[in-house]
A and B are shown apart, each in its own frame.
Chain A
Amino acid sequence: MSKRALPSLTHLQFLVLGVLRADEQPGRVIRKALAAHGVRRSSPAFYQLMARLERDKLVEGWYEQVTVGDQAVTERRYRITAEGARLWARAKSFYDEVSALSSAVRWSDA
């Protein structure tokens, strides 16, 4: 295996970026997706995570108005950036490689 750095994404960031790879989503939908994978964060903790992703320019966020019944409410939506997609792909490739290696190689201390 060539020498390379470990992925810089945490598991949670990998999961969030993976959800956004398919399409842009509102924050509450991303939270539901995390909950489906057993990750439950309070709303402020979730948006703290998203704020850090935005700060690192891995996602873009904006507010959009939606209608519930006859009432309008704003919600925060996110989309993955090119940088975010690149880091996600890199992390995925790393895990794919390790998975492939772990079934093929017998490790020894020789």
Chain B
Amino acid sequence: MHRTWVERLGDWLPEKARRDLFVPSLADLTYERLVRERTSRSALARVRVRLWHASAALLLLAGCLRLHAVDRVRARMSRRARANHVPRKELTVMFARDVRHALRMFRREPAFTAAAVLTLMLGIGANTALFAVVEAVLLRPLPFGEADRLVLVKHRDVATGLSKQDIAIGDFIDLAARQQSFDALGGYGGFASTLAGAGETVRIEGVALTPAAFALLGVQPAMGRFFTADDVAEGAPPVVVVSHELWRTQLGSDPQILTRSIQLGTTRRMVVGVAPPGFRFPLANPTNVIVPVRVPPAAPANRKESWVYGVGRLKPGVGIEQAEAELAALSRQFEQEFPQQNKGSLYYAESLRDGMVGEAKRPLLMLLAAVGFVLLIACVNVGNLLLARSLARQHELATRLALGAGRGRLVAQMLTEALVLALVGGVAGVLVAWRLGPALAAMVPQAARIPGLDSVGLNVWVLAFSLGVSLVAAIAFGAVASIGLVRESARHALAGQRRTTMTTGARRAASSLVAAEIALATVLLIGAGLTLRSFANLISVDPGFTADGVLTVQVLLPPGRYPEQAARSAAYQRLFEAIDALPEIETTGAAAVTPLTGNNWTAPLVRPEHPLPAGERPPEVGWQSASAGYFRALGIPLREGRLFNAGDTIGGPQVVIVSDSIAERFFPGESPIGKRIVLGDDTAEIVGRVGDIRRASLSDSPRGDLYFPFERENGPGTTMFLRTAGDPLAALPSIRTTIRQIEPGATLFETRTMADIAAASAAVQRLAMRLLAGFALIALMLAAVGIYGVMAYSVRRRTRELGTRLALGASRADILALVMRQAATVAIVGVVIGVATGLSAARAMSSMLYGVPPWDPLALGAACLVLTATALAASYLPARQASRVNPAATLASD
């Protein structure tokens, strides 16, 4: 029968306490937990219930121990003493006395205290800092009403496995009408625009929300109102809700704001509300303005004429699994009803938090586990220090036992000493975390757009975690220091001996601890080695283009000035020609999508000679709109045919360029040049074939891209790709001046070098690698210090034995070899355990590795070598000391 960890811990209680106190109390606690879980509506709420249960169970254990101890004390008292006894007060007095005693002892041993506190400060501080990041990103409630019930609805192409947030408008309308799992399904989409004011026109970011989406976010406006159905009715006047920050910074905190209108892009909009302070949706994006978006009442004939993102609120009592099952069933319905557009399309739900945190969750949890290992090593080190110190007090403890002190009393005193050390180390650790937490958050690149990082700091939960970690550390190393020692001391008291050698039990305990340290450090080193190899593979991957020497500039044409495609293309042409004429610029190009920024836009591809069978959905390939200069600026090789030219504009024949993967997949064994593909009701000729590139990220497999001429497909904003003669950023002032001269109303934003974009694409992996390597290094140093300390103390305690060996004819080399052999045995045991554990841990992180198997022999071998060498190096000095023992002096002092 499965037994829980609490029940197993309860087995350690004395039988009477376990039977009479623990078992019935645990039954009540389990009952309460089940009731709370039944009423929990979300996964986060159930996690909180589990945390409550764990902490209540630990308190229960402590309570049972305390009552049992009080009972025993009372049982030994005389009747009269019992009448006057106030057990709770006496225990408190004893505890206070032990604390004072511990503080006195630590003051008398500053070196030991400093070493222990510094070690704990490092371990607890690093754990608290990383927990502060985890708490802000993964655990803190999202700033929406009942946020645990908010989910994003996403789309996955079953054939390619590609996921997108975009939902075709026809599918969105039918999902909203047919679903039963959500209170409502709302639509949204991000946009960029300009705000024209008294001063300069500024670029702003906003979100378009359906009235339903706003309602289900569960927030209240700071002023005015949010959208209603009237705001999206036909002919309704344009309205806007502004963010609190925009109201303060750009609109003068005007109390009459609700009577004003603002110029947003080409539209004048009435301000109907001010969002609450800090409101953002989606969380990672700045939300300066919110505008209403209208969804047609019925699905249009072209179900993909536009796209929207979906957000829903689960009905009470409905779990995300249930919603996913319903979405899967609806997806199958759409496949049957609209096979050409929906075959292989699957809609699924993802919690809002997971959808916004993205791929940061797994690395964060991995780092939290890694830093937990560092704390364990720190606890082992402190445990060894306390054990060594306790061995030095053997005589004192033996005498106290002989005079009638209970064994439990001595153990309680040791645990109190451990608790005092842990709390002092914990306070110091909190001070470290106060600075380290925000510093860790600042190391994550902004481009990763992980919500919550700007509010990492100390709060009640983080402090509670730190306290919990300190208590666990105290129990861990306090138990280490006291187990086995007191029994040994009792026997010494009875035997009346003064021991100067290390007992077998104590030596075994110390060796086990050293082996445990080495094992933990091995696991960390293996993890660090794997992420290092993975990262090295990632940054050495060929993205298919040349990132160095290229500047990207996002430009927005003056709103409303070029509503027609032809006029826009002409405006862009003027801009590109003027910039191209600058001496710093070698090549000017433009494209809709910037590589390595996570974009997964796709387009269908069908050959007219191979029409699809009825009911088949066309395969999707990557979509891009690009000028000829784009290919030249990024050095994307032209394999055959030509790039786009001046003739590929509106009014000319439709042309496209394909990449290598498309040519191999759709035109195997033949040249694609001159072939045609279906384009709506028309066809387009393939005029060129270029090399594949890594489109969404460096770890993305190269996929086919279908390129459309920029001159025929562009919008009011685009990204320019400028290859420069020298430093790309040095050309920026000239570029800005030129653009302002040609288009005074144009807005520039997001100027980055392509090299920075490529680096940002691997930024999270780089950070994880650096942190893991840092933790591994700290673990290695702590392990080395721990090994040295234990070996040095072991040698000191074995002085008599070593002196005797030398007196009986052993050479100094023999003694050196003896000590080193024992150290090597412990190291090898630790490394073997570490490798076995490390392999399991590596399997758990395999999804984060790139081009490296979890059992990579190089990483494993390097970790084993480094640990063994460190252990031997740390043992050498004590071994040399041992070989220099003076046998005559040692034996004479006996």
Residues of A within 8 A of B (CB): 27-28, 31, 42-48, 50-51, 63, 66, 68-69, 71, 73-76
Contact = CB atoms under 8 A, between A and B. Distances in A.
B63 A68 contact: no
Given A43-B25, A73-B30, 14 more contacts: A27-B24, A43-B29, A44-B21, A44-B63, A46-B25, A47-B21, A50-B24, A51-B21, A63-B27, A68-B34, A68-B35, A68-B38, A74-B27, A75-B28
Nearest to A75: B27
A27 B24 CA distance: 8
B34 A69 contact: yes
A27 B27 CA distance: 10
Nearest to A50: B24
B779 interface: no
27 contacts: A27-B24, A28-B28, A28-B31, A31-B28, A43-B25, A43-B29, A43-B63, A44-B21, A44-B22, A44-B64, A44-B67, A45-B67, A47-B20, A47-B24, A47-B25, A48-B20, A48-B21, A48-B67, A50-B24, A68-B34, A68-B35, A68-B38, A69-B38, A73-B30, A73-B34, A74-B27, A75-B27
Nearest to B35: A68
A47 B17 CA distance: 10
Nearest to B22: A44
Given A45-B67, A47-B20, A68 B31 contact: yes
Given A27-B24, A47-B24, A76-B24, A42 B34 contact: no
B571 interface: no
Contacts of A43: 24-25, 28-29, 60, 63
* Residue of B22, B23, B25 with most chain A CB atoms under a 10 A cut-off: B25
B45 to A, nearest CB: 15
Contacts of B63: 42-45
A44 B16 CA distance: 12
The 6 closest A-B pairs by CB, nearest first: A43-B25, A68-B34, A76-B24, A51-B20, A44-B21, A44-B63
Interface string B61-85: 0011001000100000000000000
Contacts, number: 57
A93 B818 CA distance: 82
Contacts of B28: 27-28, 31, 43, 75
A43 B66 CA distance: 13
Nearest to A42: B63
B25 A73 contact: no
A68 B67 CA distance: 30
A51 B21 CA distance: 8
B31 A75 contact: yes
Contacts of A46: 25
Contacts of B64: 44
A87 B768 CA distance: 70
Interface of B: 20-25, 27-32, 34-35, 37-38, 60, 63-64, 67, 71
Contacts of B27: 27, 63, 73-76
Contacts of A69: 34, 37-38
B871 to A, nearest CB: 45
A43 B64 CA distance: 9
A47 B22 CA distance: 8
Contacts of A28: 28, 31-32
A71 B34 contact: yes
Contacts of B24: 27, 43, 47, 50, 75-76
Contacts of A51: 20-21
Nearest to A71: B34
A45 B38 CA distance: 28
* Residue of A44, A63, A69, A71 with most chain B CB atoms under a 10 A cut-off: A44
A63 B20 CA distance: 12
* Residue of A31, A43, A66, A71 with most chain B CB atoms under a 10 A cut-off: A43
Nearest to A69: B38
Contacts of B35: 68
A28 to B, nearest CB: 5
Contact of A44 (B30, B31, B60): B60
A31 B20 CA distance: 16
A42 B56 CA distance: 11
A95 B63 CA distance: 34
B60 to A, nearest CB: 6
Contacts of B38: 68-69
A78 to B, nearest CB: 10
A110 B535 CA distance: 100
A43 B31 CA distance: 13
Contact of A73 (B20, B21, B31): B31
B464 to A, nearest CB: 20
Contacts of A48: 20-21, 67, 71
A44 B25 contact: yes
A46 B63 CA distance: 11
Contacts of A27: 24, 27-28
Contacts of B71: 48
Nearest to A64: B27
Nearest to B63: A44
Nearest to A46: B25
Nearest to A31: B28
Nearest to A45: B67
Contacts of B23: 76
A47 B23 CA distance: 10
A63 to B, nearest CB: 8
A43 B32 CA distance: 12
* Residue of B21, B27, B35, B71 with most chain A CB atoms under a 10 A cut-off: B27
Contacts of B60: 43-44
A51 B37 CA distance: 30
Nearest to A52: B20
A33 to B, nearest CB: 14
A46 B27 CA distance: 13
Contacts of A73: 27, 30-31, 34
* Residue of A31, A46, A50, A51 with most chain B CB atoms under a 10 A cut-off: A51
Contacts of B67: 44-45, 48
A27 B63 CA distance: 17
A43 B57 CA distance: 11
Nearest to A61: B24
A68 B29 CA distance: 13
A68 B25 CA distance: 17
Nearest to A28: B28
A75 B37 CA distance: 18
A106 B35 CA distance: 55
A69 B30 CA distance: 13
Nearest to A78: B24
A62 to B, nearest CB: 11
A71 B34 CA distance: 8
* Residue of A27, A31, A47, A68 with most chain B CB atoms under a 10 A cut-off: A47
A100 B27 CA distance: 43
Contacts of A42: 63
Contacts of B32: 28
